[in-house]
Chains A and B, each alone.
Chain A
Amino acid sequence: DTAVSQTPKYLVTQMGNDKSIKCEQNLGHDTMYWYKQDSKKFLKIMFSYNNKELIINETVPNRFSPKSPDKAHLNLHINSLELGDSAVYFCASSQDKFAESSYNEQFFGPGTRLTVL
């Protein structure tokens, strides 16, 4: 049983298009995240939701909009895609929202490789 799943695995699209990535976790966790990993492999936090409430909103263009219909799902919608959006996007979840908690171990999904042409 996959703990954190994302769809699609690969996404190739043209500049200017709008696309969505879906994420689901079956771990019963309250907190979910979106990370972006660029070509230099840095993992950067984009958003975090705790029990459907937004708790982290990094300096991300407002073309990126997360949506959490329930605490097991966190989707990412991207409008007007740009070349610089090409990256791997990871969804993750954790038991606890507090970074200093020992229960903040992150469980990552398999990633979505987004290529904007």
Chain B
Amino acid sequence: SQKIEQNSEALNIQEGKTATLTCNYTNYSPAYLQWYRQDPGRGPVFLLLIRENEKEKRKERLKVTFDTTLKQSLFHITASQPADSATYLCARPFNDYKLSFGAGTTVTVRA
């Protein structure tokens, strides 16, 4: 099965620092990886998609990398703010029609 794992359930970080989240996958490299943000009591919101042939993607203070050798994607939040506190999910194509989601990493940014 095309597993996807986020190796940290929780990450506590001081405001202003960079948070780095890890997403590991098994078997073949997917065509892309997606990252979502989920706030308590809400549905996930799409943030970024990085394709297999892209090493890095940026959106404002977010940066995502894709390493097909390590079978890993890193998600960075630079200059973190308390408003960045949320659960972040990665997802990969699972078969023709499905996405497989990781369990998420809950980030708490302390002021």
Q: Which residues of A contact B (CB under 8 A)?
A: 4, 40-45, 48, 55-56, 90, 92, 97-100, 102, 104-111
Contact = CB atoms under 8 A, between A and B. Distances in A.
Contacts of B42: 110-111
Given A41-B104, A43-B89, A111-B41, A99 B99 contact: yes
B99 A98 contact: no
Contacts of B91: 106
A104 B43 contact: no
Interface of B: 30-32, 34, 36, 41-46, 49, 51, 87, 89, 91, 93-99, 101, 103-104
A56 B98 CA distance: 8
Contacts of B36: 106
Contact of A55 (B30, B31, B49, B97): B97
Contacts of A100: 30-32, 93, 96
A2 to B, nearest CB: 11
B103 A108 contact: no
25 contacts: A41-B103, A41-B104, A42-B103, A43-B44, A43-B89, A48-B98, A55-B97, A56-B97, A98-B96, A98-B97, A99-B93, A99-B94, A99-B99, A100-B32, A100-B96, A102-B32, A102-B49, A104-B93, A104-B99, A105-B46, A106-B34, A106-B99, A107-B46, A108-B44, A111-B43
